[in-house]
Structure 1
Amino acid sequence: MLPIEDSYSELITSLKKHPITLLQAPPGAGKSTWLPLKLMVDGHFKRIVMLEPRRLAARNIAHYLASQQNEKVGQSIGLRIRGENQVSTQTRLEIVTEGILTRMLQSDPELSDIDLLIFDEFHERSIAADTALAFALESQAAFRDDLKILLMSATLDSERYQQFFNCPIIESLGRSYPIDEVYVPLKDETRWLNEIPTIIKQALNEQTGSALVFLPGQSEILRVQHALNDLPSDCQLVSLFGEQDKAKQQAAIAPAEQGKRKVVLTTNVAETSLTIEGIRIVVDSGKRRAASFNLKTGVTELTTQSISRSSAVQRAGRAGRIEPGVVYRLGSKQTFERRNSHDTPEILATDISQLLLEAKLWGAEIEQLSLLDTPSTQQIAQATSLLQMLEALDQDGKLTQLGTELLSFGADIRLSHMLIKAQQLDATFPGIYILSAYLVALLESRVKHAVDLNLALHSQLIKPHALFKQQLRFWLTRLKLSEVSELNTGYLPLLVALAYPDRLAKMRGNGYLLANGAGAELSEEYWQNDDYLAIANMGGHKGGRIFAAVAFTPNDITEQLSHLFTEQTRCEFDERAGRFIHQDEIKLGAITVTSQPSKQPLDKSERAKAWLSLFKKHAFKLFNEQADSEQLLIRMCIASKLFPEQFPTITEAALVANNQWLALYLEDIKTLEQLKRFNYFTALQSCFNWQQQSALNQLLPLRLAVPSGSNIKIEYQLDGPAKLSVRMQEVYGMTSTPLLAQGKLALLMELLSPARRPLQLTQDLAHFWQTSYRDVQKEMKGRYPKHFWPDDPATSIATNKVKSKM
């Protein structure tokens, strides 16, 4: 009996009563197999769609469930993943990957005839799952109050999810079989991979049964395979990863031959919803390959990272699916306990262009969707810029017809743009469409190849890699094209520009400047003399190393990608030469393609823009010292901070960054010397309206009237109290320190001698009169006998004269 069976009745009740239910059940509980089949067989729902985060798991679950029904996939149990569509009118339980559900929702927001959505292994939090769930929640709220949603995982962040979705949680306690834990501390963290073969051999010697070994990627799998060439003859060594063909994957999952043990080297593709018979040992490297998005370069790179504790629990669960098992964890228990509880959601660590485009098609902005984690404004800005380059959004951010086509194409939106446009251009550029198919196959197969894409494609024509051939077959079939023996690679720059317009680059010093403004490293082996590169693949340190590119000239792409080019006039002041530079330029994003002296006369607004650029560079240090303006700036910053409801946000950095407040006042300035002498008091004051200016003078006055009748200037500072420097005789009769900004800003009184030398600093005048004044009085009577030094200054008459003239 599976653990999930004990919770079945409670789960059914919850699903009937609530729109959303969370199910937390450990690995091996039966939530991915027994439960959906039971829900279908019992007829609680007419049609169920279950989402699996991985194609391998989706395929195997569908085949397993179909076998339980003595059917083939496509009858009551359906399967829809990329490249496979096995559903029929008989289908009542459909296993899909998340991108498929998003397409179903976009084409039919009401999800006709579907009354239960199951999100399996929801803890993985792929961006596709987050997108599909956000749309499903809106569909549920707007169209289908009878649609039920079930979120399942062994390691849900239950409290947070329960609060966000306002729904019940059902827990299925207990694991099918117990799992022992063995920790293997590391002497040198940098050499962790070298320890894996030793741990595998140790586990095989100490335990019975087959072993599942979790490694980050294919390169690590290959290294460990080479190191395990001396395994006992009864051990069968196989690998399992997402890019394998189906036959090899099925061979890896199949039970070991009679009398043999199996050692399966795998990536996290086997972490969830997958049972490999005979496995009772897990060796966990504690590493995974995960997306790491660089906002500056716009590159999502796969990096090796430590997994979270929840992922480690998932991996260990593979050992206890069919009998008691054991997990060997690389690293100490203390290291394990210091890991994050859950992995960073993909939506916060990757390019969100696809999500943004899906939201536009759905008719919403990202901020309006019910997302557990909302992308940052920087992510949204970066994605918007890219989508405009790909012609998916217009300059107003509205979805275009081409944007809709990109989504329906069912591939990465960059590659979709390239393929759609290549088909349209084939009449003008014969052979560009077939070339695009070969290029997509090369990029998606991820085979190691020359950095120059010309060489890379020609080498695949001569001696194709198996993975390249697999991808090429897929794309030729899908695009209804035939294999060729020759390619016109002269179109490569245009194709790469269609897919990666933000990665068009121009040589700059020892590297390249990308159209998106980022920098890229110059390879020492390629293109030393090429001014321009169209980059298809980059990554490495800070996402800035070029892995695949082709040389081009702007003329190669200008006509077909005219929207990427802009004409503008640049005006700036050259401080070294002491003159204006006034140029007409053609820009490709951040790249200057051409620049020549402007044919237009230099007008006031252009000159003002040049001065503003100089101001942005030097800030307020650009101007000569001017105490009144500097004090106004400080007072405005203080008022903004202390009274945010009354004054707009003012900081020095913000005034420099958003400097249009200054523009109008600089139009008539013609020389740098004039600019330095410019008094910016009036311009700065204009940032406050008349009422705010009046309030500023009341709350933070420029001068303070003291009992002698004098108006003494106050000196303000950004951090710390304001300061009033005044001769002591002038504040006789003042019983307390004056208040500034309704008491929110302290005033430091610097009491001076008749010769204006400092005598005392105090923020509590009353206390000073009662205490330290006596000592000051004794000393000052002897030094300044002509001046008034009363015994009770708090009640005495203030004066700015000597005694004889009082």
Structure 2
Amino acid sequence: MDPADFPIRELLPGLLSSLQAHPRLVLEAPPGAGKTTQVPLALLDAPWRGDGRILMLEPRRVAARAAAGFMARQCGEAPGETVGYRIRFESKVSTRTRVEVVTEGILTRLVQDDPTLEGVAAIVFDEFHERHLAGDLGLALALDVQSQLRPDLRIVVMSATLDGAGLASFLDAPRLTSAGRSFPVNVAHFPARRDEAWNVQLRRCVAEAMEKHPGDLLVFLPGRREIDLAQAALTALPGDIAVLPLHGDLSVDQQSAALASDPAGRRRIVLATNVAESSVTLPGVRVVIDLGQAREPRYDPNSGFSRLETVAISQASADQRAGRAGRVAEGWAYRLWPQSQRLEPMRTPEIAQVELAGLALELAVWGSDALRFPDAPPVGALAAARELLRRLGALDDSHRITPFGRKLLALGTHPRLAAMLLAAPTPDAAALACDLAALVEARDPLRERSDALATRWQALAAFRAGRPPGAAHRGALAAIDAAARQWRRRLRCDASPPAQVPPHRLGDLLAHAFPDRIARQHPGDPRRYQLANGRMARLFDDSAVFGEPWLVVTELRFEARDSLLMRAAPVDEAGLARDFPDRFFEGDVVRWDAQSRALVSRRERRFDAITLGSRPAGRPDPAVAAQALTDAVGELGLDALPWTDALRQWRERVRCLREWMPELGLPDLSDAALLESRAQWLLPAFAGKTRLDALDEQALGEALKSGLDWSLRQRIDSLAPRRITVPSGQERPVSYALGSPPVLAVKLQELFGLADTPRVADGRVPVLLHLLSPGGKPLQVTQDLRSFWQATYPEVRKEMKGRYPRHPWPDDPWTATATHRAKPRGT
């Protein structure tokens, strides 16, 4: 397409004008509008740019390379001159480069390495609707740089399917929308037959579409495995056609072939993952066939593991995929799911459903958690990530980054793999670690299931020796071999990978990546393993690692009872003792025993949470016992303590005053706060005790009040009194509950002569009066006693006088004498 024909061209003057006046902008433009390739080039002419570079973030490597190539051709140049790109393990930039297309991880490194972003005039976030974690982090970092250091930095966020209004509000930015230019797309659902496999349904749909409609076909599938199955199913179709895959694991030449017209003029069927959903252009596509699925990472909070899952796409993705058929002429889109199936409107942000170790490490390096994310990272997932980083040695106990953590970050991969790569003691071990990093990151190259990681490495070694096993995919092994070479180059490792190693050598290295998943065989069940993090895992019935006393587990699948061990390697106990001496422990351990409701003291040998040996010990150390009882309350909850009604009410009085009179500075006595701070107030109270029930009510009360000095305790009693003296001369109790007014229950006759409702908290809060009959039954609930005497009392008097004749019911309650007694007999 001629650049002048892109619909976005009409919007470019307004875009430049907006960025002249405001440093942020949200741009919505549908697929085919030209935003990816025209906006960065237009920014080169902006007066505020000076000689600064334009960074454009592309979520996918295929799209980054393609976008840079298209823009370079517009400039009459090759990539690396005015327009260049940087992706993982590949870079085409020079000192002349002014538009640089980068993938998400590259942007994060650029910002972390130079927070001032010297020489960068603008950052463009393309296809932001994909909501990858690295994209959200990149935007949060860019906003922080802009607000703290570079108010002149321009930030443009672009997308085809996005809540533009919400994002513009979040960014406090103008919003521009391009109508785009596309042709009509006829959408139809292609039903599956009963019990029909999806690849058979796809073959029927492709055959029908090729017969009815012109042009090339683009088929959306969730991953490489499905692409391979579809390619096998479609190869035998009649006619002169080309069936081409398109996914991120292909070589540059293979990707280029899918993105270009067939040189022989044949019709093409392109089998693509959602890499083809946006940014890249496939010429000649008139038909889209969509399985309606994508492979996305999901975080399981119960197991703490992330894994790729095949999930239904969002409605926004379905619309965008269908739109690919209408880029050059009228098109057709076939959906291979029932029309009755409803999709979620938008894609769930990755930050809400993935493991966050990499993010936690980036935040530690940045030195602040106060970044503005479009969606904040979940608290639980972030805490789990920080615990993993602490195990790896990347964070200290205060969550500050360590020198080792900075080394991990510099490698630009998941902290687990970086820890393994840096732990290799020799060049030979480093070469083996590079193999393992490539294997762990890659999809499984084996055709048949095996839980032995050694089987995969042996297949890789056989591939290098020219004798790949028939049970493995040659293409997958070639990709793993290439990734391992890239890692060796990155580490400046000149050693060749070994041709043969004992399986435990793999485990010895992997233990540095998965210290929480080092596992020991259960002494009573050889198919179960206890992990260093305290969880349990079990083997497949036909496990290839059955019988190994120690394993390191690289992949687990959570199930209801135990995790299922998907992939592991044996590890040598002597190697663990050598590499992780601080993880081994021997000493007395005091624990709470729920059955006996007492402490149990044992001498234990452990590796992290794995018990290696245990025998009874003597009387526990008093300090250890007090800590164990305090920990037990953390597990059992505050109800395990000997609360009295008076003490519960004192706690509620403090909580209410904290809300009514914040200037007092009273402590937070909520359940969560008390449990969090139990080491400060409860631990001293357990000194010298070995049972929970040894703590009495008086000791608990003193512990709870220990943070308050005498004068503040007196103020609490004054401002939130336990009892109030009513006009009858009697003291009546006041009941307090956070979130509700204090309640004073009193017989109506005891309030004669009182005009206004009693108040607490220095007169700020009226009590809620429960006015009772002489028999103690409720007559009225009010916070306005004056209104009750005026409007309601006459009706109450009329009804109650006959029922309680021995009690006073004066016509004028304002002047009557208050009493708590009945009238004397005969009066």
Q: Shorter-chain TM-score: which interval?
A: 0.7 to 0.9
Query: What is residue 439 of structure 2 aligned with on the other side?
Result: 442
Query: What is residue 346 of structure 1 aligned with on the other side?
Result: 350
Is the 8 Å Cα contact of residues 249 and 479 (structure 2) preserved in structure 1? no
Distance 1:493 1:283, change over 3 A: same
**What is the deviation of 1:190?**
12
Is the 8 Å Cα contact of residues 726 and 752 (structure 1) preserved in structure 2? no
Distance 1:750 1:684, change over 3 A: farther
Is the 8 Å Cα contact of residues 221 and 227 (structure 2) preserved in structure 1? yes
Matched to 2:279, the amino acid is S
**What is the deviation of 1:565?**
4.9
**Residues 148-191 of structure 1 deviation map (CA, whole Å, 9 limit, x = unaligned):** 44333223432233233333333332224343333457899998
| Aligned mates of 2:657, 2:194 — CA distance in 1 | 55
2:515 corresponds to which of 477, 491, 501: 501
| Aligned mates of 1:180, 1:45 — CA distance in 2 | 47
Query: What is residue 697 of structure 1 aligned with on the other side?
Result: 717
2:770 corresponds to which of 748, 765, 772: 748
| Aligned mates of 1:480, 1:586 — CA distance in 2 | 41
**Residues 259-302 of structure 1 deviation map (CA, whole Å, 9 limit, x = unaligned):** 53222121101111111121111122332211212344332211
| Aligned mates of 2:344, 2:400 — CA distance in 1 | 42
Distance 1:232 1:499, change over 3 A: same
SS of 1:557's equivalent?
helix
Matched to 2:351, the amino acid is I
**What is the deviation of 1:737?**
6.2
Matched to 1:435, the amino acid is L
| Aligned mates of 2:515, 2:412 — CA distance in 1 | 20
**Residues 690-746 of structure 1 deviation map (CA, whole Å, 9 limit, x = unaligned):** 455344434443223233322233455678776656667655555676556644552
Indicate yes or no: 2:537 matched with 1:515: no
Distance 1:360 1:692, change over 3 A: same
Distance 1:321 1:760, change over 3 A: closer
Is the 8 Å Cα contact of residues 740 and 746 (structure 1) preserved in structure 2? no
Matched to 1:610, the amino acid is A
Query: What is residue 233 of structure 1 aligned with on the other side?
Result: 239
Distance 1:123 1:713, change over 3 A: closer
For residues 6-155 of structure 1, what are the structure 2 equivalents within 5 Å?
Answer: 6-37=10-41, 46=51, 47-69=53-75, 71-140=77-146, 147-155=153-161
Is the 8 Å Cα contact of residues 758 and 767 (structure 2) preserved in structure 1? no
SS of 2:579's equivalent?
coil
| Aligned mates of 1:205, 1:7 — CA distance in 2 | 40
| Aligned mates of 1:714, 1:376 — CA distance in 2 | 41
Indicate yes or no: 2:484 matched with 1:475: yes
SS of 2:416's equivalent?
helix
2:674 corresponds to which of 649, 655, 659: 655
Indicate yes or no: 2:441 matched with 1:417: no
Q: CA RMSD, aligned part only?
A: 3.8
SS of 2:258's equivalent?
helix
Distance 1:704 1:584, change over 3 A: same
Which consecutive residues of structure 1, in runs of 5 or more, have no partner in the other structure? 782-786
1:674 corresponds to which of 678, 691, 694: 694
Is the 8 Å Cα contact of residues 435 and 487 (structure 1) preserved in structure 2? no
Distance 1:695 1:534, change over 3 A: same
Indicate yes or no: 2:284 matched with 1:284: no
SS of 1:778's equivalent?
coil
Indicate yes or no: 2:234 matched with 1:214: no
Distance 1:641 1:247, change over 3 A: same
SS of 1:212's equivalent?
strand
Select between 298-307 and 622-631 the one with higher mean Cα deviation.
Answer: 622-631
Distance 1:637 1:139, change over 3 A: closer
SS of 1:244's equivalent?
coil
Distance 1:162 1:186, change over 3 A: farther
2:9 corresponds to which of 2, 5, 22: 5
Select between 440-449 and 582-591 the one with higher mean Cα deviation.
Answer: 582-591
For residues 526-541 of structure 1, what are the structure 2 equivalents within 5 Å?
Answer: 526=543, 532-539=550-557, 541=559
Percent of matched pairs sharing the same residue: 33
Select between 105-114 and 171-180 the one with higher mean Cα deviation.
Answer: 105-114
Query: What is residue 778 of structure 1 aligned with on the other side?
Result: 802
| Aligned mates of 2:792, 2:702 — CA distance in 1 | 40
Is the 8 Å Cα contact of residues 511 and 571 (structure 2) preserved in structure 1? no
Distance 1:297 1:673, change over 3 A: closer
Query: What is residue 550 of structure 1 aligned with on the other side?
Result: 569
| Aligned mates of 1:548, 1:397 — CA distance in 2 | 30
**Residues 741-765 of structure 1 deviation map (CA, whole Å, 9 limit, x = unaligned):** 6445523244444xxxx44453257
For residues 382-397 of structure 1, what are the structure 2 equivalents within 5 Å?
Answer: 382-397=384-399
Which consecutive residues of structure 2, in runs of 5 or more, have no partner in the other structure? 463-468, 783-787
Select between 187-196 and 545-554 the one with higher mean Cα deviation.
Answer: 187-196
Query: What is residue 784 of structure 1 aligned with on the other side?
Result: none
SS of 1:115's equivalent?
strand
SS of 1:366's equivalent?
coil
Distance 1:636 1:330, change over 3 A: farther
**What is the deviation of 1:418?**
0.7
| Aligned mates of 2:221, 2:28 — CA distance in 1 | 26
TM-score (ref. length: structure 1) = 0.86
Between the two proteins, the alignment pairs up a number of residues equal to 787
| Aligned mates of 1:470, 1:79 — CA distance in 2 | 22
| Aligned mates of 1:57, 1:355 — CA distance in 2 | 24
| Aligned mates of 2:162, 2:283 — CA distance in 1 | 26
| Aligned mates of 1:389, 1:618 — CA distance in 2 | 27
For residues 202-281 of structure 1, what are the structure 2 equivalents within 5 Å?
Answer: 202-228=208-234, 231-256=237-262, 258=264, 260-281=266-287
| Aligned mates of 2:94, 2:594 — CA distance in 1 | 74
**Residues 73-131 of structure 1 deviation map (CA, whole Å, 9 limit, x = unaligned):** 33443232222222334434333222223333344444444434333222223222333
Query: What is residue 627 of structure 1 aligned with on the other side?
Result: 645
Indicate yes or no: 2:684 matched with 1:664: yes
**What is the deviation of 1:451?**
0.6
| Aligned mates of 1:486, 1:103 — CA distance in 2 | 36
SS of 1:771's equivalent?
helix
Query: What is residue 466 of structure 2 aligned with on the other side?
Result: none
**What is the deviation of 1:446?**
1.6
**Residues 501-553 of structure 1 deviation map (CA, whole Å, 9 limit, x = unaligned):** 22223456785554345554543333565554311112355894321112446
| Aligned mates of 1:726, 1:365 — CA distance in 2 | 55
Query: What is residue 309 of structure 2 aligned with on the other side?
Result: 303
Matched to 1:481, the amino acid is A
**What is the deviation of 1:54?**
0.9
Distance 1:773 1:494, change over 3 A: farther
Matched to 1:445, the amino acid is A
Select between 246-255 and 664-673 the one with higher mean Cα deviation.
Answer: 664-673
SS of 2:577's equivalent?
coil
2:382 corresponds to which of 380, 383, 394: 380
| Aligned mates of 1:618, 1:141 — CA distance in 2 | 46
Matched to 1:339, the amino acid is E
For residues 395-410 of structure 1, what are the structure 2 equivalents within 5 Å?
Answer: 395-410=397-412
SS of 2:552's equivalent?
strand
| Aligned mates of 1:797, 1:139 — CA distance in 2 | 73
Distance 1:511 1:717, change over 3 A: farther
| Aligned mates of 1:25, 1:712 — CA distance in 2 | 70
**What is the deviation of 1:672?**
5.5
| Aligned mates of 1:195, 1:745 — CA distance in 2 | 71
**What is the deviation of 1:683?**
2.8
**What is the deviation of 1:231?**
2.9
**Residues 15-52 of structure 1 deviation map (CA, whole Å, 9 limit, x = unaligned):** 44443333322211222234445666999764443332
SS of 1:243's equivalent?
coil
Indicate yes or no: 2:369 matched with 1:366: yes
| Aligned mates of 2:676, 2:145 — CA distance in 1 | 42
| Aligned mates of 2:113, 2:774 — CA distance in 1 | 81
**What is the deviation of 1:251?**
2.8
| Aligned mates of 2:12, 2:219 — CA distance in 1 | 33
Matched to 1:712, the amino acid is R
**What is the deviation of 1:209?**
0.9
Is the 8 Å Cα contact of residues 116 and 147 (structure 1) preserved in structure 2? yes
